[in-house]
Structure 1
Amino acid sequence: MMNRKRAGAMALFGAALLLMAVEPAAAQSGSASTTQEAISGLNSNLFYVAVPITILVEGILIYTVWKFGKSDEAKPTQENRRLEITWTVATAVILLFVGVASYQVLGSPYVSASSENTLEGGPTQEIEVYGQKYNWNFVYRNVSVDGASATDVSMTNVSIQGTSVKNVTDEGIVISGGSASSATDGALESASLVNGTVTAGAGNASQYENRIGEQVSFTDVSVSGAAVEDASISDGTVKSTNTVVMPKDENIRLNITSRDWLHAFHVPAMGLKQDALPGESNSIVTKPTSTGEYQLYCAEYCGVGHSGMLGSVEVKTQSDYNSWLAQSWFSAQG
């Protein structure tokens, strides 16, 4: 009897030590998205159930070998209905716990794209993801940004009101101040122009040499090297390659497809993985919870350049994300 008590106490003590070691590690690992948080939470819950069961089973096995390993003759076991009922009920309870815990996670729209549960607030940004040997391409449509700033801007078909002529050079008419608008890709509804150079569309530049310091207006001209503030962009399109940018604490829907053959979009730190199939679009939804940069892989062998088909996910604050959208949109206008 004393040996049994000691064996049980040692088993419980070992389980407690193991759980104490696991808990800080799980707490320190953190989660980069709601998707990873749900998956890690399920793994932790199942681990906490599996460890005591494993220790109990292994403890009984070790005790049995130690106690009866030297027996010369095996003795038949006796029926014990209480024991049979106990382990049957215990197994049913464990399986019920595993089933309920798994269903709650797999039923989450952040984990299962086919989930019937709806996102609270809906997706705030949809990003098209195209796998193509051997790069990842991303498209943001219907981009709207208010109060954005950008530097070194080049634009075509832009209208400028109330600007001042600073100088006339071989490159064009140097201007400062005023307001700008354009409708090249989406609409630059308004922007406070800080400076810039009108490079085309203003006619003969020499006619402005005698108007330095005066306010003028331009219609459908090209501008380079400009800086703008308080820009308002609506219905724009932004594209990027191998780097996808997401806003923190916002629902993101990724519509993933391929332009040639099989690829797989995989961001382990965020718990994201989805096949990219030609002619089909597979969606995954997530909400980034930590700013930072995370590694993106292709998880489906796709040819000789597969190992180099890498990218990154950059999670930014909402203000930094809007600034990136604006700067990227302006960079594509020249």
Structure 2
Amino acid sequence: MKRSRLLLASLLSVVALSLAADPVAAQPSTTAELIYGLNDTLLLIAVPITLLVEGILIYTVLRFKDADEAKPTRENRKLEITWTVATAIILLFVGVASYGVLANEDVTFESDEQTIAPEDDDVVVKMTAFQWGWQASYPEEGVQASGTAPTVVIPKGQDVYFNITSRDVLHAFHVPKLGLKQDAMPGQANVIKTVALEEGTYQGYCAEFCGVAHSQMYFEIQVVSQEEYQSYLDEQRSGSSDLEPDVSDEEIRAHDVTATQAPIQA
């Protein structure tokens, strides 16, 4: 009896602590907010189920550990119907919650082939991957970021569309803290959308093994205010004349030599 009470008290304590815990800190983008919010919602279902199952298991072990021989179980239709209905309700809840996130355009964006951004003030960034670096440009603004490991500047609180493709093999655009990940495929453009909520600099990299210098394929996403973003565009326009359609072959070859000679990061 004492063991049963102790077990029940422990389970109730864990549940109370989980309910009293502080909510997850604010996320830096709407995409991350949706994804981590879904994780929290599913935990509300997973934690009680886990505690219930483990509690029954522990109780059974302690209750019948001294039994000489097992007794056959009896059919209990009410119990079977109850757990079947309960399972169906749980799966329905998980499906509805997941669909509400996956159907959101900030997680799964379906673009028109002709027009990516629906509004005139939306930001479009084209990210072109190649072995082994990135080219970042703003086709709507006629601006291109410098370097093969570019710093991509985007404004806070504004719709941003990343148009992602590859020049050679399969790569992947990944910015973990912003909740962004999309394949970069040769001959195909994949678009993802987000809204940055916090200013700061976020690390991005290639998440698909693509060759010997895969570990060197880094870039940064810098979230700034609208005023700073406009100043950045003005500076880029004044510093360069025309927007190059692609990184030059000479720049790629130079980058390949540097990347292959650099030490591979752990």
Structure 2 length-normalised TM: 0.82
In 2, Cα distance between the equivalents of 1:299 and 1:27?
26
1:238 aligned to 2:144?
Answer: yes
Deviations 1:3-54 (A, max 9, x none): 545533321212222444xx43x523x3111000000000011111101100
Seen in structure 2, the aligned counterparts of structure 1 residues 139 and 9 have a Cα distance that, compared at 3 Å, is same
Partner letter of residue 78 of structure 2? R
3-state secondary structure, aligned to 2:163: strand
Given the superposition, is the C-alpha separation of residues 44 and 123 from structure 1 closer, same or farther in structure 2, using an over 3 Å criterion? farther
Counterpart of 1:125 in structure 2 is 123
Inter-CA distance 7–279: structure 2 relative to 1 (3 Å threshold): same
**88, 95, 100: which is aligned to 1:92?**
88
Q: Provide Cα deviations, 1:268-297, integer angstroms capped at 9, x if missing partner.
A: 000100111111111111111110000001
Q: Give the residue type in structure 2 aligned to 1:239.
A: A
Q: Distance in 1 between matches of 2:218 and 2:225?
A: 24
The alpha-carbon distance between structure 1 residues 115 and 9, as it changes in their structure 2 partners (threshold 3 A), is farther
Aligned to 1:102, which of 98, 101, 124?
98
**Other-structure match for 1:281:** 189
> 2:109 matched to which residue of 1?
113
- 1:255 pairs, out of 163, 170, 179, with 163
Distance in structure 2 (CA, Å) of the matches to 1:2 and 1:78: 28
Whether 1:42 and 2:43 are equivalent positions in the alignment is no
1:140 aligns with 2:138: yes
Judge conservation of contact 2:143–2:233 (CA < 8 Å) in 1: no
Contact 1:288 1:315 in 2 (8 A): yes
Distance 1:238 1:62 in 2: 62
Matched-pair contact (CA < 8 Å) for 1:32–1:270 = yes
SS at 2:139 equivalent: strand
Q: Which has the higher helix share?
A: 2
- Aligned amino acid, residue 9 of structure 1: A
**Is the Cα–Cα contact under 8 Å of residues 110 and 286 in structure 1 kept in the other structure?**
yes
**Percent identity at matched positions?**
49
Instruction: Give how far 1:132 is off.
Output: 1.5
Which position in structure 2 is the counterpart of 1:27? 24
1:172-191 matched pairs, under 5 angstroms: none
Work out the number of aligned pairs and report it. Answer: 237
Offset, 1:120: 8.9
When you count strand as a share of all residues, which structure comes out higher?
Answer: 1
Residue identity matched to 1:265: F
1:190-205 alignment, distance < 5 Å = none
Name the amino acid aligned to 2:51.
I
Which has the larger displacement, 77-86 or 51-60?
77-86
> Rg larger in 1 or in 2?
1
- The AA in structure 1 aligned to 2:58 is I
Gaps of 5+ in 1: 144-235
Q: Give the CA deviation at 1:113.
A: 2.3
Which residue number corresponds to residue 332 of structure 1?
240
- d(CA) in 2 for partners of 1:120, 1:134: 32
Distance across 1 between alignment mates of 2:89 and 2:74:
25
The code of the aligned residue for 1:130 comes to T
Residue 248 of structure 2 corresponds to: none
CA distance in 1, matches of 2:120, 2:97: 24
Query: 2:144 is aligned with what amino acid?
Result: V
Q: Which amino acid aligns with 1:329?
A: R
Hey, what's the Cα distance between the residues in 1 that align with 2:16 and 2:121?
Answer: 42
Contact kept, 8 Å, 2:143 with 2:236, in 1: the verdict is no
> Distance between the aligned counterparts of 1:44 and 1:120, measured in 2?
31
